[in-house]
Structure 1
Amino acid sequence: MDVIEERVTGILSGQFKLKKEIITPEVTFQNLSFDSLVLIELSLVLEKEFQVVIEEGDLTDQLTVRELAELLTDKGAVA
């Protein structure tokens, strides 16, 4: 697990009160029961944490934690 993936896991467990055991790199946000409003909240948290801009539609419920970390890296997030 890379540093950005670890930070995303920390955000999901800390701010969104998810158990770390269920946050695997392959889990989708749909599996975590994230609806569109929670995804919007997550995008705002990630923008602030990683100093990146997340466009509408970047975060979907089909995205995995690993894919989110890759998206953040592609957008210039610094570990």
Structure 2
Amino acid sequence: MQAIEARIAEILVEDFKVDAGALRPDATFADLNFDSLVLVELILVLGNQFRVPLDDGALHDTMTVTDAAGVLAARGAVA
């Protein structure tokens, strides 16, 4: 699952312009200033990148990158 986390972090930095220093293990998407619209965009990007189906409510602003990796892994994603 660490490889999935690393890829998510890479996407956040490259595509969503998140400061890499802000990606602490306990940082939630709310801490990263992701509102519901940005989360929907992230869900679309992650679904496409990992080739897994994700519904609009798959991620919440209280989740961390580790939580998101768990959601993806549960849906069969591999890095």
The two structures have a TM-score, normalised by structure 1, of 0.94
Distance, in Å, in 1 between the alignment partners of 2:48 and 2:59 is 15
Q: How many residues align?
A: 79
Residue 32 of structure 1 pairs with residue 36 of structure 2? no
What CA RMSD, in Å, does the superposition of the two structures yield over aligned residues?
Answer: 1.2
Answer yes or no: is the 8 Å Cα contact 2:4–2:69 preserved in 1.
yes
List gaps (5 residues or longer) in structure 1. none
Distance, in Å, in 2 between the alignment partners of 1:25 and 1:14 is 18
**SS where residue 15 of structure 1 aligns?**
helix
The residue aligned with 1:21 is 21
Deviation of 1:19 after TM superposition, in Å, equals 1.1
Deviation of 1:57 after TM superposition, in Å, equals 1.5
**SS where residue 16 of structure 2 aligns?**
coil
List gaps (5 residues or longer) in structure 2. none
The residue aligned with 1:43 is 43
> Structure 2 counterpart of 1:43, which letter?
I
The residue aligned with 2:10 is 10
Identity level (%) = 46
